[in-house]
Amino acid sequence: MPNRQNTSKGLRILCIDSGGVRGLSALIILQEIMRRLNNAEAINVNPHEYFDVIAGTGTGGISACMLGRLQMPIEKAIEEYVKLTEDVFRDRKWTGTSIWRGSTMYKSTKLQEALKAMVRASTGNEAAMMRNSSVTDGCKTVVFAMAKHNLNAGLPVLFRSYPVTTNPGPDCTICEALYATMAHPDLFKSIDIMHSGVPQSFVGGEIGCSNPLAHVLTEVQLLYPDRHIACIISVGAGHARTIQVPDPSPWSRTQDLFVTRDMAMDSERVAEEVAIRFKGRDGVYFRFNVDQGMQNMESGNWEKLKEVTQHTQAYLRKTEANQKLDGVIRVSNEGRDGVSTTQAAGQISATIKAMKQPTNFKRCPAPTIFYTGREQEKAQVIACITSGKHERRVCVVYGLGGAGKTQLVLKAIECTWDEWDHVIYIDASSNEAIETSLKGFAEAENIGGTYEDVVVWLEACNKRWLVVFDNADSHATSIRQYMPARGRGGSVLITTRLPDLATLAVGPGSVCHLSSMSPADGTALLMKIACSRNRCITDQDKKAAEELVKEFGYLALAIVHAGLRTKMTPTRYQITPLICFCLWKVGMRSMARQCRDHDEAAPFHFLA
């Protein structure tokens, strides 16, 4: 469950299109998303606990309110949605439609009664207000409608579950807000709601705002101007039929009206525009929309709810849909930031900021408190990266897994911390991991949105910077393409098991081969960890330590592991370090041999 007080976490946004009875497909898709999220994270959360903002229009507004404002579990929301659509759309009036006689297809009283019953069952009060001022940290809900007497620019009216200080919108009941978002002129009469002391008429948000995502992102930017968005999930209600201009005929004027109506209700235009906005920002925007089977379903065809279910389930079995679902799970597990709310809203201010000089950026793990020895190697690394005040240096530290490469580099960085204006620490285990780190730096410092932007900026930067590529152990990873080719006063540090990467080294003393520790350093490391809580170290302990580090081949990883295990021994059993060392002797000898023979860091690679 996201901690909403933690502003460093990326926001999660859910937006649901309108679609009449086809809107059931959006809830079924969301049910699959929540099922996979809960299984992947071994949790059991509802949409209002997972998403920070849930928004929708038309029937999508009904779904958004059920999930967000009314906090229904997804299964309950599906049940209520089916019941509401059957109750509302079962009885169709036969006096004609708005195009012919100015009438509507369905009874407004039916919709009002169904909404009141749903809200009453959920809250105990059918007059419950849409705005819930007592909740400041929970999921925020917003539904959209249109002002009946002013549809200019397609600007919707927002009905919010939370208070705002600018353009607050009507302060009304949940039922009134949901009726407003559902009041499509063909289906239901408009509704009058008091706003600023004057009754104002509203019609359904489906007219001109069937996909409100662009407006949602603008609202999110106003709510969270200094936050980032981790994930945007936009769910459609199935692709509509193809919109075509009819050939001239006696009925062409009427057909033109239908075409105009369909264009106003089309949601794919906004979906395409948002997709273009997030092009190059993989893993942020996910669009789900059933592609086949529901093109000819009218908004009120409640008899086809079973068909909607089957078409949606077929869509979810497709490879493309599953890839998107996997992407949502991956983003959730990583918990990373995606884009700033300003950039997501498409505001030009983000571009202006990108032209400004970034502030100092330093982010790097600290070395272990048990760091011991390696003084000569540490001095070599420090001299290499700091001596080139006006030229780029590249220092490559290579050796077996478990030799202590990462800790050596982290210690060198700690000793030279004040030398640098920018320190960028990168997990170099894969191309994807490198690009993610560099993109994060680019967005944090407003210098672009790709790893290429960072490389170009570093090459032109006149400040002192240090880029660290840690654990570059895969032949499939191309480190060179991520390294600045030039840079006044910049340095690069690489840790790797691959001797071939030594060819990337630049500058005096730029290749550091790390092998086993010296006997003295190895013994000191083991005693520092194992005996850190003991006031007295006996000669017997020291002798046992000397024998064991020799058995380990003086491999840093095995020594650290033995020391940590020794510290974990319960003192109530009066087990001395010597006895505990002997208990672990066989296991540590085996692990040291594995690290030497197979060049693997086993499950303790974080200590390498």
Last residue in a domain, options 486, 514, 542: 514
Residue 391 domain-assigned (yes or no): yes
Residue 561 domain-assigned (yes or no): yes
Over residues 521-558, the pLDDT tens digits come to: 777 777 776 665 555 666 776 777 777 777 767 666 66
Q: Which residues contact residue 84 at a Cβ distance below 8 angstroms, ignoring those fewer than 6 apart? A: 62, 114, 115, 118
Residue 471 domain-assigned (yes or no): yes
Whether residues 33 and 174 fall in one domain: yes
What are the tokens at 552? 């380990």
Q: What is the pLDDT of residue 401?
A: 80
Whether residues 304 and 334 fall in one domain: yes
Q: Give which of 444, 494, 486, 438 is closest to 468, Cα–Cα.
A: 494
Whether residues 340 and 367 fall in one domain: no
What are the tokens at 98? 């708005």
Last residue in a domain, options 475, 499, 514: 514
**Rounded-to-10 torsion of CA 536, 542, 544, 548:** 120
Q: What is the pLDDT of residue 569?
A: 38
Whether residues 584 and 491 fall in one domain: no
Q: How many whole angstroms separate alpha carbon 84 and alpha carbon 244? A: 32
Whether residues 36 and 179 fall in one domain: yes
Q: How many whole angstroms separate alpha carbon 166 and alpha carbon 381? A: 56
Average confidence (pLDDT) over 560-587 = 46
Q: What is the pLDDT of residue 153?
A: 58
**3-state class (DSSP) for residue 299:** coil
User: At 47, which CATH number?
Assistant: 3.40.1090.10
What are the tokens at 251? 């009925």
Residue 133 domain-assigned (yes or no): yes
Q: Which of 191-200, 425-434, 549-558 has the lowest average pLDDT?
A: 549-558
Whether residues 480 and 528 fall in one domain: no
Q: What is the pLDDT of residue 489?
A: 78
Amino acid at 440: G
Which is higher by pLDDT, 8 or 375? Answer: 375
Q: How many whole angstroms separate alpha carbon 37 and alpha carbon 400? A: 38
Task: State which H helix or E strand residue 391 sits in.
Answer: none
C-alpha angle 119-121-123 in degrees, rounded to nearest 5: 60
Q: How many whole angstroms separate alpha carbon 302 and alpha carbon 84? A: 10
Q: Which of 181-185, 281-285, 296-300, 524-528 has the lowest average pLDDT?
A: 296-300
* Contact predicate 14/235, CB 8 Å: yes
Residue 352 domain-assigned (yes or no): no
Whether residues 544 and 492 fall in one domain: no
Q: Which of 233-237, 353-357, 478-482, 490-494 has the lowest average pLDDT?
A: 353-357
Which is higher by pLDDT, 111 or 567? Answer: 111
The DSSP bridge pattern shows strands 490-496 and 393-399 to be parallel
Whether residues 510 and 524 fall in one domain: no
Average confidence (pLDDT) over 485-489 = 79
> How many CB atoms sit inside 10 A of residue 6's CB?
7
Q: Decide: pTM greater than 0.85.
A: no
Residue 393 exposure: Cα atoms within 13 Å on the Cβ side: 23
Q: How many whole angstroms separate alpha carbon 242 and alpha carbon 239? A: 9
Whether residues 304 and 430 fall in one domain: no
Q: What is the pLDDT of residue 360?
A: 58
Q: How many whole angstroms separate alpha carbon 33 and alpha carbon 224? A: 25
Q: How many whole angstroms separate alpha carbon 54 and alpha carbon 382? A: 51
Whether residues 238 and 383 fall in one domain: no
Q: Which of 433-437, 511-515, 537-541 has the lowest average pLDDT?
A: 537-541
Last residue in a domain, options 489, 514, 539: 514
Whether residues 259 and 297 fall in one domain: yes
Residue 601 domain-assigned (yes or no): yes
Whether residues 203 and 161 fall in one domain: yes
What are the tokens at 558? 């095995």
Q: What is the pLDDT of residue 397?
A: 95
Its sign, for the CA torsion 496, 501, 506, 510, is positive
Q: What is the pLDDT of residue 102?
A: 56
What are the tokens at 301? 């065809």
| Domain hosting residue 432, numbered range | 361-514
Residue 353 domain-assigned (yes or no): no
Q: How many whole angstroms separate alpha carbon 354 and alpha carbon 294? A: 44
Q: How many whole angstroms separate alpha carbon 594 and alpha carbon 597? A: 5
Q: What is the pLDDT of residue 288?
A: 96
What is the number of residues in the chain? 608
Q: Which of 36-45, 350-359, 370-379 has the lowest average pLDDT?
A: 350-359
Strand partners, 12: 231
Residue 485 domain-assigned (yes or no): yes
Helix 24-41 and helix 74-89: axis angle, to 10°? 170
Q: What is the tally of structural domains in the chain?
A: 3
Q: Give which of 92, 265, 119 is closest to 187, Cα–Cα.
A: 92
Which is higher by pLDDT, 315 or 579? Answer: 315
Strand residue runs (E) in 400-453: 422-427
Q: Which residues contact residue 133 at a Cβ distance below 8 angstroms, ignoring those fewer than 6 apart? A: 162, 163
Over residues 12-35, the pLDDT tens digits come to: 999 999 988 889 999 999 999 999
Three-state secondary structure readout of 308-324: HHHHHHHHHCCHHHHHH
